[in-house]
Every structure is written in structure tokens, then in C-alpha cells.
Amino acid sequence: AQKVTQAQTEISVVEKEDVTLDCVYETRDTTYYLFWYKQPPSGELVFLIRRNSFDEQNEISGRYSWNFQKSTSSFNFTITASQVVDSAVYFCALRMNSGYSTLTFGKGTMLLVSP
Amino acid sequence: KAGVTQTPRYLIKTRGQQVTLSCSPISGHRSVSWYQQTPGQGLQFLFEYFSETQRNKGNFPGRFSGRQFSNSRSEMNVSTLELGDSALYLCASRLTGLIVTDTQYFGPGTRLTVL
């Protein structure tokens, strides 16, 4: 069975600080997909990124960056120069490589960015 | 392109009643999944529909059911409501369920409160 662990329940930072959200996953499969979603107070889960298990290249998108390390089964998410609008709950998720496979979510990390 | 829409956004019901929630996927998306989100259990998969057929089902009692129409719109029904059914119900759509790289896009959710 697969599992996603987000050990940080809540993180508080001050605007412009950098913050890293941790994600550790467990799976026996060699091919799988990892995701990050953002959930603002409105409730909608907003897709941020998908990473394939066979592509360990790190990715940067503006202030966001992701560090995928297969050796440690981690897929961490860093926000550089955080802003108040980044305040949300962030979820890491895992999907197996089979049709109609579901997303297995971590418990989420609540990020509070204060001015 | 319009996103995933869910109606109603908020519902209050009493124990023993039944409820029907509706989801309209992104235009062109033919797969719809439902998730339940609670503070204790987090995000849990309910079921996925594609081409009007249930393709996958999570570990929920038979009181939870769903269906999909020919226009890909989906409904989920919960009968004999219990207090523990109070949750945010999220709908997600993707092009198909067959291609594992299809990203799921989520709607804003329906907040169900059972009194």
C-alpha cells in the first residue's frame, strides 16, 4: 500500500522568508506520480505540480521550487520570499501507475504567512 | 475554460436524511472523482466514474453512492446521514482515468453539515 507523510502540521513564517514543506512517500512501485496541491480558505484544491518517478530533475516555477529525491523518497516544496497570499494548506499526493488509480494524499501542511 | 463546478456549496441536513451533491467537470473531461475531506481523516477517495461507469471505489459504506450522466456530469448521494458524514466533499475531473498522467482538477467543494 502507498502512503504519504507530511510531518509538518502547521508552519508560521513572516513575509519574505523562505519556507520548505516536507513530503515523504512510501510505495513499492517503481513507476508512480507525485503531486502538490494548494488549498486556500475557499476550499478548492489548486494543482501546482506533477512529477514522474523516473524524472528526478528539480523544478522551479517563479517563487516555487520542488526537490525530488528518490533515494530518500521525498518530494519537498520550497517557497522563496513567501507572501501573505501563500497562506493555505498544501497537500502532497501520490498516484500509482495504473488506470483509474486514485490520489493518496498526505494530511497537509497549513502555511501561515504573516505580514 | 470554466473549472469544475459543484452545487450546492453549502448544505445543512439532519441525521437520517439523504443528500445529493452535483458536479460538472471541466468541458471535455470525461472522468469524475469524488473525495471526502474531514479534519480527522483528511482527504479520502470515494469513487471515480468514467463513461457513466464506476471505475474505482474507496472504502466507504454502501450509503455512499454515485452516478455519472452521458454529459459527464456526476452526482453523489449519501443516504441515512450520520453526524460523521459532515465534511467537505470535493469533486475532481480529468480527461480520462486511463492515462495516469492526466491531472485531476478540483472543484470548490460542497460543505455538508449534519446535525
The per-residue pLDDT of chain A, averaged, comes to 93
Low-confidence ranges of chain B (pLDDT < 50): none
Encode B18-71 in three state secondary structure.
Answer: CEEEEEECCCCCCEEEEEEEECCCEEEEEEEEECCEEEEECCCCCCEEEEECCC
- For the cut 70, the answer to whether the pLDDT of residue A109 exceeds it is yes
Residue A45's pLDDT band (boundaries 50, 70, 90)? very high
With CB atoms and an 8 Å threshold, state whether B106 touches A37: yes
| Among candidates A45, A102, A107 on the partner chain, residue whose Cβ is nearest the Cβ of B48 | A102
Location of C-alpha cell 455519472: B68
A102–B56 CB contact, under 8 Å: yes
Query: Following DSSP, what letter does each residue of A15-51 receive, concatenated?
Result: TT--EEE--EEE-S-SSEEEEEEEE-TT---EEEEEE
pLDDT of res. A55: 85
pLDDT of residue B1: 66
Task: Judge: A100–B106 Cβ closer than 8 Å, yes or no.
Answer: no
- A44 vs A97, which has greater pLDDT? A44
All residues of chain B having their beta carbon less than 8 Å from the beta carbon of residue A96 are 100
Residues in chain B, total: 115
pLDDT of residue A60: 87
| Per-residue confidence (pLDDT) for residue A101, from 0 to 100 | 78
Q: Which among B21, B43, B93, B95 is the top mutation candidate for probing chain A, defined by the most A β-carbons within 10 Å of its own β-carbon?
A: B43
pLDDT of residue A35: 95
pLDDT at residue A111 tops 70: yes
> Looking at beta carbons, which residues of chain A come within 8 Å of B109?
43-44
Backbone CA torsion sign across A89, A90, A91, A97: positive
pLDDT digits (tens, 9 = 90+) for A50-97: 999 988 888 888 999 999 999 999 999 999 999 999 999 999 999 988
Q: Do B111 and A43 touch (CB under 8 A)?
A: yes
Instruction: Report helix, strand or coil for A4.
Output: strand
Q: Name the residue among A96, A100, A107 with its Cβ closest to that of B97.
A: A100
- Residue B91: the pLDDT is 97
Query: Of B76, B35, B92, B6, which Cα lies nearest the Cα of A46?
Result: B92
Kindly state the cell numbers that stand for A15. Answer: 513575509
